[in-house]
Chain A
Amino acid sequence: MEIQVKSADRNLLLEFSGELDNQGAGIALRELEEALEAALPRKLVLDMSGITFMDSSGIAVILRAQQKMQTLDGSLLVRRVPPQARRVLEAAGINRLVTIK
C-alpha cells in the first residue's frame, strides 16, 4: 500500500495504490489521520485508481474519512474506483453514503 499526498489551498488529495486489505488499511488509516491533521482540508479527494485489490478493510478507511470530513465541516469525494473495489462498495451500500465518481 502506497499513498501519495498532495495538498494545496485546503484541498487534500490522497492517491492510493496497491492492495487495500487489512494490512494496507492500517497504513492508509495512519496516513489519512496525519494528512488531515496537517492540512485541515475543506475538500478531501481519495483517488483509488491505483488500487489492485480492496476488501471491507477499505470501507473502514472511506467511512473514517467521511466521518473526519464531517467533523471538519468539509466534503469527501472518492474517485476513479476500479471495478473490483466498486463492487465491494456497492455490496456494502457505501455508494449510498459517500460520493463516488
Chain B
Amino acid sequence: MRTKAVNEVTLDFPSQSRNESFARSAAACFAAQMDPTLNELEDIKTAVSEAVTNAIVHGYPDAIGGVMLRMRVLEGNVLELTVKDRGRGIADVEKARQPMFTTGGEERSGMGFTIMESFMDKVAVRSAVNKGTTVVMRKKLAPRLKK
C-alpha cells in the first residue's frame, strides 16, 4: 500500500531513551507544513512517542539498535508515520495491541497501541520475531481555510 508522497523525510537514530523526545518534536516540525491544529499536533507527537518508545523499550530491551522514523505527506492532507526497528519483534501482535497487555513490567502501562489507535486514523503493525517491528500510522488532517 505505497502511495506517492508529496514530501517525505526519513530519520535514523539509536534506541536511546533521550531520542523519544527528539522523535516526537521532529514529527511535529515535519507536520507543521500541513497547517495542523494544536490538537492534531499533540495527537501526532503522542502517537510517535508511543511507537518510538515501544521500539526502544521492547524492540531492543538489552541493547542499542537502530530506529527509523519515516514521515510522509500523502495526497489529501494525509500524514503517514512509519516507525521501524530491527529488534526482538512481537510474537503475537494481536495480543500486544490489546489494552493493558505489556511485557514491560510495572514501568509500562500496556496502553501504547490503544493511544496510537485513538490518536491516529489507521495503525498497521508488522512484526517478525528476531527481525523487528514496523508500525505504520496515518492521520488525515482537517482541511483549514487559507488565510
Binding site for B on A (CB under 8 A): 19, 21-23, 25-26, 29, 53, 55-57, 59-60, 63-64, 83-84, 87-88, 91-93
Contacts and interface: CB of A to CB of B under 8 A. Distances in A.
Interface string B49-78: 110010011000000000000000000000
A59 B112 CA distance: 10
Interface stretch (B102-110, B121-129, B133-141): B102-110
B130 interface: no
A87 B20 CA distance: 20
Interface residues of B, number: 27
A59 B111 CA distance: 8
B115 A60 contact: no
Provide the main secondary structure of the chain B interface.
Answer: helix
A84 B46 contact: yes
A37 to B, nearest CB: 16
Contacts of A64: 106
Contact of A22 (B42, B57, B114, B119): B57
B45 to A, nearest CB: 7
Contacts of B46: 53, 55, 84, 87-88
Interface string B28-62: 00000000000100110110011001001100000
B20 A22 contact: yes
Contacts of B98: none
Contact of B53 (A55, A87, A93): A55
A26 B107 CA distance: 7
Interface string B16-30: 011011001000000
A43 B99 CA distance: 28
Given A56-B111, A63-B109, A88-B115, A22 B45 contact: no
A60 B50 contact: no
Given A21-B53, A60-B107, 8 more contacts: A53-B45, A55-B49, A55-B112, A55-B115, A56-B111, A63-B109, A92-B99, A92-B109
